[in-house]
Amino acid sequence: MNIQKFSEITNLSPHTIRYYEKIGLLRNIARNASGHRWFTEKELAWVEFIKRLKDTGMPLDDILKYADLREEGDSTSEQRMQMLQAHAMKLEEKIAEEQFHLQKLKEKIEHYSKLVELEVNA
């Protein structure tokens, strides 16, 4: 598929796709006879994984390190697994922190709800 179709499917702008290629997140992109980029399901799956890592807060530099290891092949599987495990632990900590903040907000909302109820009934 061409870059426009790839952009539509991935919800990434063509500019972002070109940037990912420039910095090395997308590598060895095939070119058609006209020299235009041609993306396959392989790149689609990889970009979806990149987006997931970004959405979960993994820094771009770490994603690039992961991409470098991925490029080296199966011999780096343990290193990649360790990177993902470390990221998962950070994500779990962040989720716990966010749940704590949410609970505190709900407590404050409950406090104000009681105050408003008292004012209405007064």
The secondary structure of residue 31, as a DSSP letter, is: E
The model carries a pTM of 0.82
Q: Has residue 104 been placed in a domain?
A: no
- Residue 71's domain comprises 3-91
Residue 96 inside a domain? The answer is no
Mean pLDDT of the chain: 95
Q: Can you give the CATH number for the domain in which 30 is found?
A: 1.10.1660.10
Q: How many domains does the chain have?
A: 1
- Residue 117 in domain: no
* Residue scoring higher pLDDT (6 or 28): 6
Q: What are phi and psi of 37, to 5 degrees?
A: -60, 145
Whether 46 maps to a domain, the answer reads yes
**What are the pLDDT digits (tens) for 49-99?**
999 999 999 999 999 999 999 999 999 999 999 999 999 999 999 999 999
